[in-house]
Amino acid sequence: MTHPTSFELAEAARAWARGSYAMEAAVELLIQHGVWLHRTDFRRYAIDYIPAAHTRPSYAVIDWQAAHTAMSAGRLPCCGSEAAILRIALSLADSLPVELRPIITGLDLTNIRRVLAAIAHANGDRDAWITTQGGPA
């Protein structure tokens, strides 16, 4: 089996998350951030890619607990802003607790906008991404 491109993986993750605002928000935050879905270690530990069948699209199932475990065990080394984005996505998708003050104070304006869009999306506003860099695909 060939490995999906980053674009195919993003679309498959969106298809998998569709229907849950919080899950969609977490997935879109990772996509818009542009780091985690590109990393082979993240893909190895946290993503199960299921190719399309004639009756359904491809899915990229994100195992949020596996991502949390891998990050906590040091198997996903990353900088502070990358860790912050993943922790916020984990909290949105899987209700894992996150301390906002130390996380958001280390983010630049672009990432703050992404986080705010994710929060708005989790609350039902799918259009929140339009004002962020790139918007949803």
The string of pLDDT tens digits covering residues 107-133 is: 999 999 999 999 999 999 999 998 665
User: Which residue ranges make up each domain of the chain?
Assistant: 6-123
d(CA 124, CA 112): 19
For residue 7, give Cα distances in angstroms to 14, 16, 87. Answer: 11, 14, 22
What is the distance of C-alpha 64 from the center of its chain?
A: 9
pTM score, whole prediction: 0.92
88 touches 29 (CB < 8 A): yes
For residue 16, give Cα distances in angstroms to 13, 35, 59. Answer: 5, 19, 5
- pLDDT band at residue 54 using 50, 70 and 90 as cut-offs: confident
What is the distance of C-alpha 20 from the center of its chain?
A: 13
